[in-house]
Structure 1
Amino acid sequence: MYRRLIGVLAAVVAAAGTLTPAATAAPGPRAACPEPGPGLLRCLTTYTPHAARSLADGPVGWGAGDLASAYRLPDQPGPDTVVGISIAYDAPNLEADLATYRAQFGLPPCTTANGCFRKVNQQGAAAPLPPSNFGWALESTLDVSMVSAACPSCRILVVEGNTPGFADLAETEDTAVRLGAKVVSNSYGAREGGAPLAYASHYQHPGVTVVASSGDSGFTAASYPAVLASTVAVGGTSLARDPDSPRGWAEWAWQYGGSGCSAYIAKPKWQKDTHCGKRTVADVAAVAESLAVYHADAGGWLPVDGTSASAPFVAGLYGRSGRAGTAQPADLYAHAAEFTDITAGNNDPAGAGKKCGGDYLCVAGPGYDAPTGVGVPNTLSGF
């Protein structure tokens, strides 16, 4: 496995060509949302500005068809489950950008007119919407695109908070549930602590599955709200085509995907790992690197990274499975054998696993590990 993975990585590097001085001088990936101040959450999207391509040039990065192939999604579109997106600020062009994404990848239209798409403020009204913000709008675009890729038939409900404050985003969660969401995706996070945990009850609703990104800072303090025992915490992976493997794909832990051992949340009964005495993040994972999205304000098609991609994708899979609402984090562990185990990679970018002493808390290996949880989707059976 490791030799094949090394070969795949070498092929990826070779396909990129030799870097020239001009290429190395180009700006690298940047966080869509800056590090927030106290009492605020941060969206977890990273993008590369100079990589944007026009509509005519077409997408760059993994598209909906690639994800369907990698995770063996069924041909049938599934039910029309309402998937809620909890987000801050307004994304003025969200419906138009989503239309471009879905048309590009052959997905059915999802519009306000046909009842598939709905965008409201944190009280649930269509107006007034909060002010716009570039970074959070890019996050919104990624969220609705990944839900679409995972569940083309799902209805999408976007609830926009006035700010990324703990209280405002907690209210978006409640509003999404009140308006019918059976699964709610949260692509943001903050270091766990007393202040955010005061809002934990807003991420626990009977009959609703709550999903959250595990973070984009590698192995570190656990991220809220992913750390909550009521939340499905989604880690990140990197993906590459591998024609020599039966699956046709290679996958390993994304080097920046979040994992951590809680300092606050008690160990759930359904979590059996032994080197963390409290809640361990993450529970499950999916690709979080080089996802294609269309965002007009960023110049068109561009590749984006982040567990803010893997979380809404998993939320969409819950919606497509028909078990959204009844499914909870414990069920993933009960059905661990139905996921593809990720056994390569780590999320310690600086030390290749030294930060955790080579332990499963930051290094992927057979069975449960914190960067990728029980594994990645293999059809919908595990959900």
Structure 2
Amino acid sequence: MLTLGALLTASLISLQALSVARAFVSAESLWSKSTFTAVLALQQFLEIGLEDDLDRFGDAMMVPFAMRRARAAIEAPDVPLEQAQQYLVDAGVEPADATPMTYLYRLVADMAWAQSTVQRLASADEYVDRLLAVAAQVPRQAERPVDPQDLLRLRADLRRLADHLSTAQHQFGDRLSDLSRQGVRLGIFMTVLLATALAVGASINSLRLQRQDAARGAALEVANERLRLATQSDRLGVFEWPVGTDHIWLDPRCCELYGLPAVPTAVSVERSVLWSRTADQDQPELRDALEQAAARREMFKHRYRICSAPETMRDVEITGLFSAATGRLRMVGVLRDVSEDVRRAQAEADLQAQQAAAQTQARLLSRLSHELRTP
């Protein structure tokens, strides 16, 4: 369970890391697009002089400056991350991406690989500032025409800045791509490692459960052997009845007591067959006692007679317990032949009756003899 939890956690972390990496790549794309737009707008303003191009340049420059402020806010530990997140949103980053970006950046800001990555973007700040300085040198519409020498110089400056910004953008983009690939490989490695650990743990747990099942099976077999020994020594028959069904499972001894064909193992017998072999006079009392015991789920014990063969009546005693441990009410019990006990008890009762009659007869004869001797 612990390994499965770790696997799920690693998977979630990997997915979140990929999501944040995508957000950083998207932010880098916004930065690149805005600087490219700014350079293009300034070039058009230099050549034509329309104020709309200058406005478009100002709007585009807001993105790199907003991202620079966000980076500074994240690197300052006393500045709330909410402020950095707002700067990113102002730069065009989705609000849902701004939160994990700021948290991850502050978390890894002191790590060497993070500092080297950010340094590639920070190196472009100088060229952004230069671009702003060049924009301040471009004459406005009222100051036109531009001196040809100044025009050539400004054109050259813009081309160099465009090249520098493009180089910085490619370096930062390549670094982000490398980190993304490393993150994917790390996520795959951790997932495979934890999945392997989970498989090994599952195999070990399966072996442990198999050993436990084998031990329980051996213990059950020993218990069954003891039960068979006990039932065989006392000539007991074992039965099982799923309450509410029309079939009862009888072991070979129960089948023998009911006069059924001999079987090597337990068999399912219809209740109607057993009722047909129960003495008619005993059936009503047996049914009532059985229903009451089932309703109360108490121990059931009763004696009745079985006609196991033509003109052969056998006295048996049934003892059973009701249980719903398996999810269904069942009665498990034993059947014992008490014919000898009944005959012995009857013989003792007859003997006692004969002795009582003999004693009564002796007293009568003694009294009669006394009366005859006395005039």
Structure with larger Rg: 2
Q: Report the TM range for the smaller structure's normalisation.
A: under 0.3
TM-score (norm 2): 0.18
Q: Which has the higher helix share?
A: 2
Q: Which has the higher strand share?
A: 1
